[in-house]
Each structure stands twice: as C-alpha cells, then as structure tokens.
Chain A
C-alpha cells in the first residue's frame, strides 16, 4: 500500500514538473521535485524501497527529457546509494541537515548534467550554467520541506 502511494507521488510530482506554471519559474528555472523526492525517500524508508523509487523517479525524468542518455536514471540511483551511506555515517534527524543533503545532491546532479551538456559540444554561457546549477538546487531545496512532509506521512 505504501509503495502504491509512493508510486502515485512520483506520478503527481512528474505531472507537476511537466506543467509547472511559468509564473512560478524563478529566473527561468523550475525546481527538481523528483530529485527532492528521491533524496527524501531515502530518509523515510528502507534502502531497497528508496533505491527502487529513486531509479523510478530518474526513469520518469529521462522519459520526458529530449536527450537520449539515461543520465537521470543512473544519477538518481547513485545519489540514492550515496545518501544512504551518508545517512549511516552522520545523524540526519535535524531538518537543516536534510535540507543541506538535498542542496548538495541538487548541486552535484546539476553540475554533472551541465558538464555532460558542455561535453556534448553545446554552448552554455557561464551565466546560464551557474543559473541552472545554483538556482535550481536552491529552489528545489526550498520546496523540500513540503515534499518531506508528504513523503513522511505516506511512509508512516
């Protein structure tokens, strides 16, 4: 039952991201809700469930991206594992620690996607690169408490 609710959450967040209102964009950037969900689900459930839903979230994101690479699927599974290892090393009970983890994962994930895009020969100015790196990560982090509350309620 819990897994079914998580599945619904992935679908709802994906739909929300696909139809994110333009007036809620911040400097042309929208938050990465599925990435936040992927991180948050590690804190709320066991590792196996978190990994499965992390991969699923990445897969959904890749399905709706114009690129052919599965960078989000691979990235999300790696970040799920990394966050799991990290949460075993230090206490992540405090909400600010969790927000910091969301921010760190957001920055790393966007940095890798940005590098991949530049590596593919695309022209990205420093401004656009930093905008997508910082604003998307911070915007995602700012919405993390909402997703965290939702996920925690489903998990309990």
Chain B
C-alpha cells in the first residue's frame, strides 16, 4: 500500500484551502480588475479589428459584394412574394365571390387600358371562345365595373362605368328612387333625372335597377357623396362615388346570362 508522507498531505490540504479561499473571494476582485483593463482591452480589440480589416480588405470587399448581391436578390424575391400574396388574396376573394354568387361568372384578367383620356375602358383576356359577348355585365366582388362593348375570339373590351358613354339604370337602395347613372371621367359618377321631391341623402347606396337590360338587378354601384340641382332647375342630380376603384382593377368577373 502506498504511504504518503504526512508533510505532503498537510501541505496539499493547506494549498487547497488557500485556493478555495481565494476562489471564494475572487469575485470581489473581478469588477475592479475588469474596470482597470477595459480601456486597454478595448483599444487592443479595436486595433486588432482594424488591422485585420486592412489585411483582409480584399476578401471582405468580395464578401460584401456577394452579400449585397444576395440582399438585392432576396429583396426582389420578397417583392415578388408580396405581389404574389396580394394576387393570392384578390383571387381568393374572387373565387369566394364566384362560388357564393348565384350568377354564372367567368373570371378574366385586365391586360390593357384605354389609350386616350377621353374614354374609360379596359381590355380583358377572355373573349367569344369563353362565351363572352357584347352587352354582358362585368363586375368584381366590390360591385359593378362596366359592360362588354366588343369581343374577339380571345379578348374583350369593357366600357367602365365612369365612361361618359356608359349609362346604368339605377335605384337608391333605401327608398327605391330611380335615376340614370352616367360616367364623368372623374372620380365620381353622376345620377341624373332625380325628381325635385326625391328623398335622397348623402351616404345612400345606389344599386342597379331591374329596368336595366344589361345589368342584373341589385348590383352595387356606389355611395352618394353630393346632391345638387340640374341647370334646368327641373331635376336634381347626385354624385356617386363608385365602390370599385376603377383605376386599379386587375381581375374582373363577366356575368354570363
């Protein structure tokens, strides 16, 4: 059996005790020591960082260039994804509306807009081949958009409701007062031929009338924003703000009767 001298054991125990004591009270010295060394350490770290930066300048420059390319690519992807997400939401709305609606509908995408500023029309990517004919009503989930005026095999021209040539027989939803809604090329439509005693107020909802040969009854057109008296003094008119943003429509639904 191994026999250790007593002196060695005592020394070992003593050193261990001192070490334990020091380690116990070490935390008291930590903060002051770190405070004293902090500026020097920071300075050395800074110098080292800059020095390495100079040494590896070329490598860092290439890395930065590559990372910038990655950032640009990811930014474009993000932009694409946002666009896809918005399109997805719009198409989901359209599909929901199409499924819930009792009407027979054909979905189409806007591929072109009117060339001049004196008319308001769009070209859609569906035509006679898809059963679309002249005179059919065009809507979107928010309300009425216009009507088909021309159709070829694969495209159709839609005259929007804010075109001055467009006229829609309409009624005030609240009191069934009839009038004719025309486009003005401006932001609002005009509802004409309202009698002097017509009970119409700002905020009234305007919908299509059953008198209309083109549009099914009850399609939302817009909301009354202003009421005035016609120049002749015989009738009143109302300015109607369309519920559909006609300047930015991208997908529409054509009603097949």
> Chain A: residues with CB nearer than 8 A to chain B?
14, 17-20, 22, 28-30, 32, 34, 61, 64-67, 72, 110, 113-114, 117, 120, 122-125, 127-128, 131-132, 136
Whether B164 is near chain A, meaning CB under 8 Å from some CB there, is yes
Interchain residue pairs A-B with the least CB separation, the first 9:
A122-B164, A18-B112, A66-B121, A132-B117, A17-B115, A128-B185, A29-B117, A113-B118, A66-B159
In the complex, 22 of the A-B residue pairs with CB atoms within 8 angstroms, ordered by the A residue number, are A18-B112, A19-B113, A22-B247, A28-B117, A32-B116, A61-B115, A64-B157, A65-B114, A65-B119, A66-B150, A66-B165, A110-B118, A113-B118, A114-B118, A117-B164, A123-B184, A123-B192, A124-B184, A127-B186, A128-B186, A131-B117, A132-B185
A123 to B189, CA, bound (A): 10
A122 to B192, CA, bound (A): 12
Judged by DSSP, the binding face of B is: loop
* Residues of B close to A14: CB separation below 8 A: 115
Whether B123 is near chain A, meaning CB under 8 Å from some CB there, is yes
Neighbour of B114 across the interface among A64, A113, A127, A131, CB < 8 A: A64
- Given A64-B123, A67-B165, A122-B165, A30 contacting B117 (CB threshold 8 A): yes
Cβ of B190 to closest chain A Cβ, rounded Å = 6
- Given A22-B248, A67-B119, A124 contacting B164 (CB threshold 8 A): yes
Contact in complex: B247, A28 (CB < 8 Å): yes
Contact in complex: A123, B115 (CB < 8 Å): no
Contact in complex: A65, B184 (CB < 8 Å): no
* Residues of B close to A127: CB separation below 8 A: 186
Q: Mark B145-165, 1 if CB is under 8 A from A, else 0.
A: 000011000000101000111
> Chain B: residues with CB nearer than 8 A to chain A?
112-119, 121, 123, 149-150, 157, 159, 163-165, 182, 184-186, 190, 192, 247-248
A128 to B159, CA, bound (A): 18
What is the count of residue pairs linking A and B with beta-carbon distances less than 8 angstroms? 73
A91 to B156, CA, bound (A): 45
* Residues of B close to A125: CB separation below 8 A: 184, 186
Neighbour of B184 across the interface among A110, A128, A136, CB < 8 A: A128
* Residues of B close to A18: CB separation below 8 A: 112-113, 115, 123
Kindly report which residue of chain A lies nearest to residue B157, judged by CB atoms: A66
* Residues of A close to B123: CB separation below 8 A: 18, 64
A3 to B108, CA, bound (A): 36
Kindly report which residue of chain A lies nearest to residue B119, judged by CB atoms: A66
- Given A64-B123, A128-B186, A123 contacting B165 (CB threshold 8 A): no
Contact in complex: A113, B116 (CB < 8 Å): yes
* Residues of B close to A20: CB separation below 8 A: 113
A68 to B82, CA, bound (A): 40
Kindly report which residue of chain B lies nearest to residue A63, judged by CB atoms: B115
**Contacts A66-B149, A117-B118, A123-B164 supplied; 10 other A-B pairs, CB < 8 Å:** A14-B115, A17-B115, A22-B248, A30-B115, A66-B114, A66-B157, A114-B118, A122-B165, A123-B192, A128-B185
A113 to B182, CA, bound (A): 19
Neighbour of A66 across the interface among B163, B184, B190, B248, CB < 8 A: B163
A65 to B117, CA, bound (A): 10
**Most chain A CB atoms below 10 A, which of B113, B117, B123:** B117
Cβ of A26 to closest chain B Cβ, rounded Å = 10
A32 to B163, CA, bound (A): 18
* Residues of A close to B248: CB separation below 8 A: 22
Contact in complex: A19, B112 (CB < 8 Å): yes
* Residues of B close to A19: CB separation below 8 A: 112-113
Contact in complex: B190, A123 (CB < 8 Å): yes
